[in-house]
Amino acid sequence: MVKTTLKTAFLAMMLAVTGTQITCSKANPPEMKASVEMEALVAMDASIEMDAAAKMDAALKRNASAGMDAETELERILPIPFRIHLEPMDRLLLINFEDDPDSLYKGFEPQVFDDTVNGRGQLVIGWRVDGRVDVYHDHALSPDPVAYDIAGKGLANMVERDLSGSRFLVDEFGVQAHYGFEDIHGRWIEFSVSERNTRERRPFGLLAPMGDAVENPPAMPLILLHEFYFVRQKDSDVSIRIGGREHATDMLPMPIDRSRMTFVRYCTDPLIAMLNPAMDGAMKILRLDGHISVQGELPASESMAVSGDTEYMLQYVDGVPVLGGLQRRSCKHVLKLTFDPPFPNLVHMKADEKAEGSFTIAGDPSTGSIHGHYGVSTADELIEVVMVPSGGWSPVPDRLSLRVLYRVARVFRKWPETYRWTASIIRDNSGQEYYTGQEDYAQQWHMQSEWERIDR
């Protein structure tokens, strides 16, 4: 019974399958069956091709996106070879006695400070007959020896002295100053200036020719003196005593503002800057990742990027940022270094490519401006930059006596022409990561730079 039932079920199943096949055969002749199978294969191939195309399109989009990201990152990178370093100072006084020198000194320069860098106090530079300098400073000050090694032939000695009883101020009559201290040889040094001239003073601005006395400059000194003037001979007392001996101060050989002047001069608003201090290390890389603010006084095609204490003026050439200039701000003034045409983006310079242009250094209009030229050349992985203030200093004299002074004392205008800055820049793979895209690129821009005196 059981065997009969299983056999019947098996036959029924077989008949059902056969019937299905027969039915299909009757509904679709052989040629129709082949056509259906062909259409199925074509549809399958089309589906495969569409999938492959979609995958290819997605891959191309990913690659394009990666390329665009890398390109975008490169367009946000701007190597900066230039630096402006500011040294805060409140006021300064210079007393020369080169026509009647001491065995060690030929001039003194008191400087007064009130800032967070140096502290609050004063110091005196002793200008030596051998061209070097000694620095005597308050206990409250912490002056950087490097900042004074640029003076003359360099720093000889830096020592502490009690200058608490000393003073230097400028009132409605002129300079009132008095200093007394012991020098490095134990001699008592004392000098004083007292002006009682009621005639109106007419201070002016200028670039001090301090850099002319520097033989091996570690930077280009930019001593911009606002509110600068000379101590008048009439109704003034100038006393200089070293080791008990009196010394006569030098006199200015020409009148200023129809008054005879001593060669004692002073400034109540100095701006002390060092351009491109010598270096051997990683160069600054400016990443333009949104830290850009557009300033109202800039053209619409320019923008300003701020990094640290420096503001960078940017322009764009085919979407690539280039350096229009940079500037530093003191409490009262702005010092700018600008380029025409803009300094190129070193990332995008090709091998054996060259670029050149001019530059201007300017602060307050009263202190004039410095002009020069720059050049850039590439060779393999080496980039060389040269900067020469070949145009010298252009003053802005507002009276005849100053025009005569600058014409007679040509050192005022000519000394910057004797400076030349050279930088050698290379890339290596040992340091600073300067941009990231789909992969990380760790390239460090290394710069070695120095100043030299030329055509002296």
Do residues 379 and 287 both lie within one domain?
yes
Q: What is the pLDDT of residues 116-135, one digit of tens each?
A: 888 899 999 999 999 999 99
Question: Given 275, 305, 332, which residue is the final one in a domain?
Answer: 275
Residue 286 has pLDDT above 70, yes or no: yes
Domain carrying residue 93 = 86-275
Q: Structure tokens of 84? A: 């402006």
Query: Do 376 and 348 form a contact (C-beta atoms < 8 A)?
Result: no
Please give the pLDDT value at position 440: 37
Q: How many residues does the chain have?
A: 456
From CA 204, how far away is CA 207, in angstroms rounded? Answer: 11
CA 10 from chain centre, in angstroms, equals: 96
Query: Do 107 and 95 form a contact (C-beta atoms < 8 A)?
Result: yes
10 Å CB burial of residue 271 (0-12, 13-18, 19+) is buried
Q: Which of 130, 132, 134 is nearest to 160 (CA)?
A: 134
Please give the pLDDT value at position 301: 64
Number of domains in the chain: 3
From CA 385, how far away is CA 304, in angstroms rounded? Answer: 23
pTM, two decimal places: 0.78
For strand 133-137 and strand 155-160, is the pairing parallel, antiparallel, or unpaired? parallel
Do residues 72 and 62 both lie within one domain?
no
Q: Which of 71, 31, 32, 47 is nearest to 438 (CA)?
A: 71
CA 67 from chain centre, in angstroms, equals: 31
| Mean pLDDT (the chain, rounded) | 83
Do residues 237 and 289 both lie within one domain?
no
The span from the first CA to the last CA of the chain, in angstroms, equals 129
Do residues 337 and 227 both lie within one domain?
no
Do residues 230 and 308 both lie within one domain?
no
Question: Could you tell me if residue 11 is left (phi over 0), alpha (psi between -120 and 50 degrees) or otherwise beta?
Answer: alpha
Do residues 211 and 344 both lie within one domain?
no
Beta bridge mates, 16: none
Mean pLDDT along residues 238-254: 96
Q: What is the largest CA-CA distance in the chain?
A: 149
From CA 78, how far away is CA 143, in angstroms rounded? Answer: 34
Mean pLDDT along residues 439-456: 75
Do residues 141 and 189 both lie within one domain?
yes
Query: Do 182 and 245 form a contact (C-beta atoms < 8 A)?
Result: no
Residues 6+ apart with CB under 8 A from 294: 303, 304
Question: Given 10, 32, 67, which residue is the final one in a domain?
Answer: 67
- 263-267, 309-313, 443-447: range with lowest mean pLDDT: 443-447
Do residues 118 and 41 both lie within one domain?
no
Please give the pLDDT value at position 28: 45
Residue 343 has pLDDT above 80, yes or no: yes
Please give the pLDDT value at position 177: 98
Do residues 196 and 341 both lie within one domain?
no
Do residues 332 and 189 both lie within one domain?
no
Question: Given 246, 275, 304, which residue is the final one in a domain?
Answer: 275
Do residues 382 and 298 both lie within one domain?
yes
Q: Structure tokens of 103? A: 């065995």
- CB 254: neighbour CB atoms within 10 A? 12
Angle at 76 between CA 438 and CA 376, to 5 degrees: 120
Residues 6+ apart with CB under 8 A from 301: 315, 316
Residues 6+ apart with CB under 8 A from 432: 282, 285, 442, 443, 444, 445
Kind and range of the H or E element at 64? helix 30-74
Share of the chain above pLDDT 70, in %: 77
Residue 51 has pLDDT above 90, yes or no: no
- Assign 185 a pLDDT band (cuts: 50, 70, 90): very high
Q: What is the pLDDT of residues 348-380, one digit of tens each?
A: 998 889 999 999 999 999 999 999 999 999 987
10 Å CB burial of residue 27 (0-12, 13-18, 19+) is exposed
From CA 69, how far away is CA 300, in angstroms rounded? Answer: 26
Mean pLDDT along residues 393-412: 93
Do residues 232 and 168 both lie within one domain?
yes
List C-alpha distances in Å: 117 to 120, 143, 168, 411.
9, 8, 20, 32
From CA 370, how far away is CA 223, in angstroms rounded? Answer: 12
Query: Do 53 and 82 form a contact (C-beta atoms < 8 A)?
Result: no
Query: Do 174 and 232 form a contact (C-beta atoms < 8 A)?
Result: yes
Query: Do 81 and 385 form a contact (C-beta atoms < 8 A)?
Result: yes
